[in-house]
Amino acid sequence: MRYYIIAGERSGDLHGSNLVKSLTRLQPQSTFRGFGGDGMRQAGVELVMHYDQLAFMGFEAVFNFLKIARYMSACKQDILQHNPSALILIDYGGFNRRIASFGKANGIKVHYYIPPKVWAWRQNRAWQLKKSVDHMYVILPFEKEFYRQYDFEVDYVGNPVLDAIRSFRPNTSFLQQYNLSSSQPLVALLPGSRTRELQKIVPVMAEVAKAHTSFHFVVAAIRNLPNELYKPLSGLKNVTFIYDATYDLLTHASAAIVTSGTATLETALFKVPQVVVYKAGYLEYLIASWVVKVKFISLVNLIAGREVVKELIQHDASANLVEEELLKLVEKGRYQQEMLKSYEQLYTTLDIGSASDNTAQLIATHSELSSN
């Protein structure tokens, strides 16, 4: 089989590389070409373009519209020239939804692994996906039921975050390396990677750290972000910064203060009690409150279908309320135990085997059936 695979971001490259490895085990003669990163290249993909050239977000994408249009055109031309047996699209919704429509119009089978979160906002995009995608593989259990409303049967394949955690091997010298004490409660601070969110939430985290000197706060920082964003936390005696070691931090953390996103799910799967905080600019929050169609912002609560972890959003994301929640999380009482019990149920819900292996098996089966 000749596969053309497209991932436009770092996370997509990771999931793409694992998927290619799984497909190669099932179909050793298959070839892979497409857009991605170093991980996919190492897995055996003939890379046409690196995701570094495609990674535009927010207003940056608007200003680079012509450049993105050129990349889109080049991608379409390369697909036609390569004439693949099937397209495999990974996340990267704005770009890949258009490529899906293009593939369908040109008679190419389209597989979409980790589709865009249309259930959260602009839900009518589900109709477009149904029209342009032959087989879709979702990573959140409730997505299967969501697409059923649109008469679109999709496959739940498990969650790649669980795969990553299973394969993680902790650094046994982590505490010594960062001069951290196991006798003192470690609070993980996961402020995320979006500049605007850090500007709002880091000062809140700093206030909490100043108020609780008996706790040691450890920030999972991002190397390529300006140090200025972390300035409110810098210089505090009970605050340590780490880089590229979030899973090691979660292995030892007593509690965590987390912004919304995948980190909430990772924190839960490491069985760390958490509070989710989110703050945006007034206009951004106003727009989000109009268009977002879900009850919760954290993946933990979305998957559970109820409040498992406390979400402190916008005005509620104050230092006082975060402190109040943190104290309940650290205390080994009923509140903490109920949360940990819910985490166990979450793990059971997600645990249906390797997401990449399950997806590869389905793609291989569908591809072989369509080629006969």
pLDDT of amino acid 204: 97
Separation in Å, CA 64 to CA 56, 72, 330: 8, 12, 46
The yes/no answer on whether domain 167-350 falls in CATH 3.40.50.2000 is yes
Pick the closest to residue 355 from 179, 201, 193, 160 (CA basis): 160
Half-sphere exposure of 119 (CA within 13 A, CB side): 22
Q: Do domains 2-158+352-371 and 167-350 have the same CATH topology?
A: yes
Phi and psi of 65, rounded to 5°?
A: -55, -45
Q: Which residue bears the tokens 């509620």?
A: 316
pLDDT of amino acid 58: 42
Domain boundaries, the chain: 2-158+352-371, 167-350
Return the CATH fold of 2-158+352-371. Answer: Rossmann fold (3.40.50)
Pick the closest to residue 141 from 248, 300, 268 (CA basis): 300
Residue ranges of the chain with per-residue pLDDT less than 70: 53-66, 281-293, 371-372
pLDDT of amino acid 59: 39
pLDDT in tens, 88-121: 999 988 899 999 999 999 999 999 999 999 998 8
Which residues lie closer than 8 Å to 26 by C-beta, 6 or more apart?
360, 361, 364
The rounded percent of the chain whose pLDDT value lies above 70 is 92
Pick the closest to residue 190 from 114, 253, 120 (CA basis): 253
List the beta strands (DSSP E) in 8-161: 31-36, 45-50, 86-90, 109-113, 135-138, 155-156
